[in-house]
Structure 1
């Protein structure tokens, strides 16, 4: 009997020890990383520009950064391990200005980006029309005919009619101009007797007939006639778009002009835990005629800038002011070189109305970002910001000059005093520098996007880089290449003195970019406690020959500790 008890006792001790070991192992696994990257060159982009070999991730955040040996010691039985073989790892890239839904539209719209001549553009429409039933709308993806087509012009409605006679056709461009065929104009109730709206026009030929080209505010008339996508289509378009951006190493983006429906769609995706891109929303309500109506929109349900979470939040209110350099609508101090009258560009509203709009936004704690390109336009937007600041300080609110492509040094100083940030897009000059030169002269093309001067005058942390996709390519490494080299595709250099270093360019996409949405304590660098958003690059960004920067690709993209893209 005693022998049996002794055996049972020994057995019990064994069971206890096994259980204790299992519990300890379980506890160790609970504390172990979900994912580690080892044998890497990690550019943390912290304040010291530290470089590490490995990182550990748990619960969507950076657990540790250090040597491969120190990180290996943390690995548990459930840890996923990536040995990246010495590749460079950088924080997740942040595009501070994009209209990224366009990246998910390939199956829904005509791709006009490859057309190099009027004939090729019309052929693209003809091919797409062949897949449509009579009466179904045909929508075009963003493109830029004046710089893209050999003929340097927009398509006419008669040309579009010739290849799609049975369908309404509406062709968006990179902004400020659109084209429509006869059926589309008819659907919108526009004919040759229709008056031009304030701040825009329905272009006409010498005989007074509509050409089908819509300028600025005239676009809205036809845009509203285009039938909306279904909810299912919208969700799919945004999900596809997020995955496309992930493929370029982009983990966060500021949506540059968001409509209410887009916000609802993005919220559905985030609530379903299907988001792979963190989004800051620049809400763009159409300013109504009456300021009381604008105030009702701003007071809304009490929300204001910053409302949201790590996946989706309001970044501010977007207001348009002038046009663009290649559209000859940027509001300039100097008269346009080829102008036959006193033409300085186009403002979409008066300076007094702009002040009222911004004042009301400020009153309800909405941060404002204004689309402005020309130097005269920047003068007037800064006037409006200064007026708002006198009513209620904006100095810690990071109001934004969006684009500010032709900003001058004294304007940078004015902006800096107000705590205003500038978010620009060097990649605009990739395929449009020659057009800027043609319309505004070489001196203006050289001073466009004065990146080094902006850093010198305002400090890098008050700036951010984006693409304005689909106006320009979404590729962040192409954008960084242009910041570093100032070259166009033909190797022509514009404004060589405004080139910046590789690290500065990368910071404009990471540590500085995170400040757009006041999230510098959460993302933009690879440090313990921050969101685990990172990219493994195909080549060493810091050491490859300069001309190869643009060819670097994302090999692995991680958002919130999850691999969302792997090449």
Structure 2
């Protein structure tokens, strides 16, 4: 009898509590029984989250939040699974990611022969004159060095033999060099007399023969020929292809737990399309973008910028992108001292410094963030100097959060300058272990040990690190980049690269969530599971804070939620 009375008392209390709430106070969705890592220092862990209108309305225990359940509330039971804020890709190329899923993709190839075979198969299906395009090869990641070769690069002969009727353009994984076959070089007008353009190099053998590799600004020779081909295609076909690429990029990100993407440089036509998609509710994840044009193209064309929180926070463009050097793998990183394996050569300054300074002035005048690609230690020092000049000339402007994109190789004297000026180090964890096999060969042991991907040194200085993958340079999968960040090991063979510079689990999660949000002035809206913020989450098969190192790359994305809606769900969830 007493048990029955207790039951009715609890039922009455529960009914009374529900009746005390109006319909618009109930949650749209309740996520319960979870192991939730919030990235919120005031409430680091929780069991449940209540959502309404795409926002978090409460965080706490399952028992407490069930009071917000109404007749139409959807309940998602995590059954103890790990949930955290959705991953924010801190530096990638969104349309480039999409195109990499349309064209040939060499990210997982291990030999030149494998690449030649893939091109041969594509050529067999192509119409005569049709360009074959791909990306993702890296000569330092092949199991064997082709013979003959120059600096590890093969000659074009085998490639040209399987594609005689089709021009071929294969971009390096870094995007800072490309391989062309004989047909492409013929259309580009490349001969033995073709000079190296400023900031680039046509790689030649000892007899002066172009072997097919074009580094940095020399890529423009082949790009121009490809652009001529593209000009002959219908605008309708090119537009359709672009939207298909964006659709594929969205799908790829969402299935890998990425809820926001910071796009590292787009042209005006792409930015206009992103803005329209956001306004029309056609984006499934949030885009934060940088404008990428020359100074002359931008100086009179920044009216209306920055564009912030378009389409319910789905699109923002508040930054400008430039660059000063290339990539280490393609000998393009601009160094203070010469490469160990290319004597007397210190890399490439790819954009004239006066141009970069002019663009920095544009960013300052238009209240936009400045984001400059700098990989080598000399490149990073030059960018820090440019920023320092701008900050000194504009002391009234504070909290600018200007960024250096990549910041891979630093002189130790420059590390404190990031903190002193409040510069964001936008670094990609996966680059460290991806490049690790050849970094010492390029830089030598001491430069590699002290200044290559020096996350620990930067974090100990109090520098904000924004993490990512630079997709399609690397796989957009944040779990692989997270693993690299906390172990400094390659997932395939265990090769470890100066582990004293690794991040803690908590630091790495912060760099992929709230750190990236801060780097885009969006920390008040997303990046943590906090009341009032966006309901952007990822549910994973493993607890990233407490699982073993070996379990991290084995983790699976079970669910991705953006704006309170499930955008991806694994079959076994």
Counterparts of 1:221 and 1:490, CA distance in 2: 38
1:346 aligned to which of 342, 345, 348: 348
Per-residue deviation at 1:89?
A: 0.8
CA contact (8 A) 1:321 1:348 kept: yes
- Give the corresponding residue for 1:18: none
Per-residue deviation at 1:507?
A: 0.5
1:503 aligned to which of 502, 506, 531: 506
- Give the corresponding residue for 2:334: 331
Q: Which is further off, 518-527 or 138-147? A: 138-147
Per-residue deviation at 1:149?
A: 5.2
Counterparts of 1:400 and 1:423, CA distance in 2: 6
- Give the corresponding residue for 1:458: 462
CA contact (8 A) 1:295 1:360 kept: no
Change (3 A) 1:121 1:248: same
Q: Which is further off, 171-180 or 491-500? A: 491-500
Counterparts of 1:308 and 1:182, CA distance in 2: 47
Per-residue deviation at 1:48?
A: 2.7
- Give the corresponding residue for 1:216: 216
TM-score normalized with structure 1 length: 0.89
Larger radius of gyration between Structure 1 and Structure 2: 1
Per-residue deviation at 1:97?
A: 0.5
Task: Note the 1:161-560 alignment, pairs <5 A.
Answer: 161-173=160-172, 174-226=174-226, 227=230, 230-285=238-293, 287=294, 294=295, 297-309=298-310, 310-341=313-344, 343-393=345-395, 395-447=398-450, 448-459=452-463, 462-488=464-490, 489-560=492-563
Per-residue deviation at 1:296?
A: 5.6
Give the SS at the match of 2:262.
strand
Per-residue deviation at 1:28?
A: 4.2
Give the SS at the match of 1:269.
helix
CA contact (8 A) 1:201 1:216 kept: yes
Counterparts of 1:272 and 1:27, CA distance in 2: 33
TM-score normalized with structure 2 length: 0.88
Change (3 A) 1:320 1:308: same
- Give the corresponding residue for 1:562: 565
Gaps of 5+ in 1: 1-20, 288-293
CA contact (8 A) 1:235 1:266 kept: no
Counterparts of 2:525 and 2:418, CA distance in 1: 26
Counterparts of 2:568 and 2:363, CA distance in 1: 38
Gaps of 5+ in 2: 1-14, 147-151, 232-236
Per-residue deviation at 1:295?
A: 5.1
Counterparts of 1:192 and 1:49, CA distance in 2: 66
Per-residue deviation at 1:126?
A: 0.6
Counterparts of 2:208 and 2:507, CA distance in 1: 52
Per-residue deviation at 1:150?
A: 2.1
Give the SS at the match of 1:280.
strand
1:73 aligned to which of 63, 67, 78: 67
Counterparts of 1:36 and 1:308, CA distance in 2: 26
Q: Deviations over 1:405-453 (max 9, x none)?
A: 1124431222222221111112112232011122222333333111111
Counterparts of 1:90 and 1:125, CA distance in 2: 41
Counterparts of 1:107 and 1:89, CA distance in 2: 28
Counterparts of 2:518 and 2:553, CA distance in 1: 25
CA contact (8 A) 2:290 2:318 kept: yes
Counterparts of 2:108 and 2:546, CA distance in 1: 32
Give the SS at the match of 2:493.
coil
CA contact (8 A) 2:156 2:211 kept: yes
CA contact (8 A) 1:200 1:218 kept: yes
Counterparts of 1:199 and 1:61, CA distance in 2: 48
CA RMSD of aligned residues (A): 2.3
Give the SS at the match of 1:432.
helix
CA contact (8 A) 1:97 1:423 kept: yes
Structure 2 residue 106 is matched with structure 1 residue 112? yes
CA contact (8 A) 1:395 1:419 kept: no
Structure 2 residue 58 is matched with structure 1 residue 64? yes
Per-residue deviation at 1:107?
A: 5.5
Q: Which is further off, 246-255 or 317-326? A: 317-326
Give the SS at the match of 2:212.
strand
Change (3 A) 1:88 1:107: closer
Give the SS at the match of 1:449.
coil
Q: Deviations over 1:432-485 (max 9, x none)?
A: 2011122222333333111111111134xx221111122223221221222211
CA contact (8 A) 1:156 1:179 kept: no
Give the SS at the match of 1:224.
helix
CA contact (8 A) 2:265 2:290 kept: yes
